[in-house]
Structure 1
């Protein structure tokens, strides 16, 4: 598994900037061999969580975590 952490500052029209943190974990799980080699099946796994770091004045409409991505596939 390989982690990645990102800190973002984004600007929106008519507002100040907002901060966001992104935490990503991804890797390959080998299914029929112990390591990557010819004719090996594997499952790439990817998970990313978005965390809002800034609460605007209208905090009721903004959640702590507004999205999450998860991917699972089969590769050869």
Structure 2
């Protein structure tokens, strides 16, 4: 089972996940923002598509692909 917590930046998603995680046996926290931070380092802005050149790594198509694939593999 995967429980996704969605919301705006700074809304408390990580805090909520940290509070819930000990209550759910055999659980872990998977933070797809870590993939975004990695991609920012690996893909300089000039290597990205025009529509991906924003401050939001969620606009990078590869982030969306890797987030799902990584979740499947971790599960």
TM-score (norm: length of structure 1): 0.26
Bigger Rg over Cα: 1
Higher relative contact order (CA 8 A, sep 6+): 1
Please identify which structure carries the higher helix content. 2
Please identify which structure carries the higher strand content. 1
